[in-house]
Amino acid sequence: MHKVEIPQWATELALARRGKLHVHQNLDPAKTALIVVDLQNAFMIEEVAVAYVPFAVEIVSNVNKLAAAVRHTGGKVFWIKQTVDDASCLAWSEWLNMMRPDVRDGVVRNLAPGSRGHAIFAELDVKPEDEIVEKRRFSAFVQGSCDLPHRLRAQGYDTVLITGTVTNVCCESSARDAMMLNFKTIMVSDANAARTDAEHNATLATFYAIFGDVMDTAFLIERLKANASAAVAAE
């Protein structure tokens, strides 16, 4: 598991701007969606990896705990799958053009729909009521990637919990864009995975200081349960 260290400058800047450590701690569980980014074999099983992230396997337990808590308190889980097909190869050709031919071939092969690499990692607890969304850019919220923002708004979700891999690529891109599309956005410090602690913490620090909130799994689950109970008591 990553050693999470949010630097003092990030905490001080967040406090100066917001006046509190966690600006989204009063999230409404019924309007909260768990976004699980790219926890696919292509990032978690070395033999089919396009970018192997060993830390990603270590966050599976926390993602499953969060998924259960979100469902139990009235929210929904969305599993996001990085997808490379003929349409995305054409529409996002510059990404592929920057790669060596052998690397590009592996990306196209192992992120193709139906491939082993494209599949969600088997130890993740995907339920029938969850939704699976294929994205075709790093961000799940940018134009041209997928219809996730429309799905969320159509179902009344205004808060997103960002988990998955890679922290500083697809997770960060998705989290920043979600905030800029006016979603309350929380990155989960111990349910995101990068290749190094340095990369992981750099993303969390900047996101916390400027873009949104950062919480760990235990604190988020406590907030979901407490806020759900408070809502029931108020009825």
> What domains are there in the chain, each with its CATH number?
8-233 (3.40.50.850)
Cα gap 33→186, rounded to integer Å: 10
**Could you report the per-residue pLDDT of 47-87, keeping only the tens digit for each?**
999 999 999 999 999 999 999 999 999 999 999 999 999 99
Name 136's Cβ contacts closer than 8 Å, sequence gap at least 6.
83, 84, 85, 87, 88, 91, 92, 144, 145, 146
CB burial class (10 A; 0-12, 13-18, 19+) of residue 86? exposed
C-alpha closest to that of 76 among 174, 154, 190: 154
Q: Which of 186, 202, 154, 178 is nearest to 10 (CA)?
A: 202
**146-187 confidence digits (pLDDT tens):** 999 999 999 999 999 999 999 999 999 999 999 999 999 999
**CA-closest candidate to residue 74, choices 164, 157, 186:** 157
Give the torsion through C-alpha atoms of 57, 176, 110, 100, to 10 deg.
-120
Per-residue pLDDT for 235 more than 80? Answer: no
What's the pTM?
A: 0.96
Question: Which candidate, 88, 85, 82, 83, places its Cα nearest to that of 37?
Answer: 82
